[in-house]
Amino acid sequence: MPGCPRLLKEYKELSTAKPDPEIELKLTDEADIYQWTAKLQGPAGSPYEGGRFELKIVCLPTYPLAPPKVTFTTPVFHPNVLYKTGEICLDILKPEAWTPAWTLQSVCRAVAALLSHPEADSPLNCDCGNLIRSGDMRGYRSMARMYTAMHAGGNGS
């Protein structure tokens, strides 16, 4: 499997490491080291609890100098996720904030942490952001639980 030495190293580490119960990270196609899929457990205590969310991760040949493109393929109601495309607004995924110290596993952890700690000040999903900014946490949590139940098999808390 030709490709980026760093991705090959991460692949090797993942294949020999003890499985992480919260994050399942694997190659989408064994023949393409640049295409990955991750499945995240919805964080406990969040409205996403019990859900299983899939991410599509695409690395450029310049990885780890350039961040991967990470999108949700599971629909999610969250202020920092564009519902229609799964695009994620997360600082570390922007070229100016990216550092090669991040791995694909740590990126997945950061996305999972974002589910627990939404940032409503610059939302991609304005409806969701408006609920949080107006103080309607009950409405936000209710909608997030409903979408989690519909799309990610969860029941939220």
- What's the CATH code of the domain at 117? 3.10.110.10
Q: Which residue has the tokens 């103080």?
A: 135
Whole-number mean pLDDT of the chain? 94
44 in a structural domain: yes
Using alpha carbons, select from 99, 35, 45 the residue that is nearest to residue 73. 35
112 in a structural domain: yes
Q: Is 89 marked active-site?
A: yes
76 in a structural domain: yes
Between the alpha carbon of residue 36 and those of residues 10, 43, 46, 108, 129, the distances in Å are 11, 21, 26, 11, 29
156 in a structural domain: no
Q: Is the overall model pTM greater than 0.85, yes or no?
A: yes
Mean pLDDT score, 76-104: 96
Out of 59, 89, 108, 128, which one is annotated catalytic? 89
pLDDT tens-digit map of 91-127: 999 999 999 999 999 999 999 999 999 999 889 999 9
Q: Which domain holds residue 20?
A: 5-151
157 in a structural domain: no
Q: How many domains does the chain contain in total?
A: 1
pLDDT tens-digit map of 41-62: 999 999 999 999 999 999 999 9
